[in-house]
Amino acid sequence: MQGDGRDILLQGFHWKSHIGSRHSTGSTKPWWRIVRDNAAFIRRAGFTWVWLPPCSDSLAPQGYIPRRWYQFNSTYGSERELRSTLKALGPVGALADIVVNHRVGLHTSGADFMDPPFADNRAAICADDESGVGTGAPDTGERHPCGRDLDHTNPDVRFAVKTYLERLRDLGFRGWRFDLVKGFAGRYVGEYVRASQSAFSVGECFETDRQRVCDWIDSTDGRCAAFDFPTRYRLYDAVMNDDYSAMRQDNSGRVLAGGLIGFWPGMSVTFVDNHDTEWCREAEHQANYDNTRHFPGSTVEMAYAYTLTHPGVPCVFWQHFFDWGHQTRGMIERLMHLRRQRGIISTSRLEIHHAKPGLYAAVVGGSVAVKLGHAFWSPGVGWRQELSGDRYAVWTR
């Protein structure tokens, strides 16, 4: 299990955070300063971790095509501003977004890595990389077209990654969010987590098949949690269709949650939306793939009524918390308070009473009850309704 099970994460950015905040004077406040200015509020809300975007120099402004790992002046702000932000967040921990599946050099199609170079730049690239310049071993994961796929079987590559993580720890980061982990074997993520003594780590195993996510966590030797995409997409389909049948599964006579939280809740990071699923990404990629589908309107509150009351480690999206208005923020804050007050943790007991068209109803940890769907349901005598909205309600005993 990651942490003590009581963690609540904040995704501390969105897809367009690199633009910063423009003022009427024409000046722009960079993202690191925006996060720093909200640090006290983030602490008071009860978040224990903030996941921040890739902080190294990158070909892409969002940071996901890294170029110079050791250069920490980026579109999000300067290294000095980053250090100041990480210090201001304390004792809330910061997760660095780690992009080590791929990398570019000074030119996007070459093997001219700098800051740092590898001992042999061509040998650091997988032999089957589409660039044709790699002389390393075949890729240990799925192929990815962005940048040169790094060969993690190469000890020089692994040494460079570990050194990079040491530098990030020196900046003030205490944990990692690993990007695109399906691109290389999970055993290397486990090795990096162990070597860096990460306090909390989670991987982006973008996979809706629950067993495949469990297998990936296993491949890290159980050292790295995973985002619960299986729960996220089941929940999306459920609230959009008002049919919650997929939110439970009968397993050898036991009734379990349908997603990863039903099978490995202590290693599951649940979420509603993120920088890959938000509305602007949906608009960008509508013609390419269907995985972006964001939660619209009041379904956002329904989704948080589920994730913030259920097992797993919940993650709240920056835009939902800061940009969707006082009602949504207040609802999220109240659910976070109830979670802490009632002692709900990542491995709390879940009793699913109904999961069918029109109704989902469950009791978590014996002290919190939640209902989704248009149908009426009540947990009965001795329960007090704490909050309710469009097709959801939450009670405490």
Structure tokens, 58: 């990158």
Radius of gyration of the chain (CA): 21
CA distance 179 to 177: 6
Phi, psi of 278 (to 5 degrees): -65, 165
CA distance 101 to 388: 43
Please count the CA atoms within 13 angstroms of the CA of 264 that sit on its side-chain side: 24
Tell which residue, 361, 351, 316, has the closest CA to residue 336: 316
CA distance 382 to 397: 6
Reduce the DSSP state of residue 149 to 3 states and report it: strand
Place of tokens 């589920």: 306
**Catalytic annotation, pick one of 97, 204, 273, 301:** 204
Sequence letter at residue 240? M
Reduce the DSSP state of residue 26 to 3 states and report it: coil
**Catalytic annotation, pick one of 179, 228, 273, 386:** 179
Q: Is 204 a catalytic residue?
A: yes
Residue pair 396/263 in contact by the 8 Å Cβ criterion? no
Residue pair 200/95 in contact by the 8 Å Cβ criterion? yes
Tell which residue, 20, 38, 37, has the closest CA to residue 316: 38
Which residues make beta-bridge pairs with 362?
Answer: 352, 370
Catalytic machinery residues: 179, 204
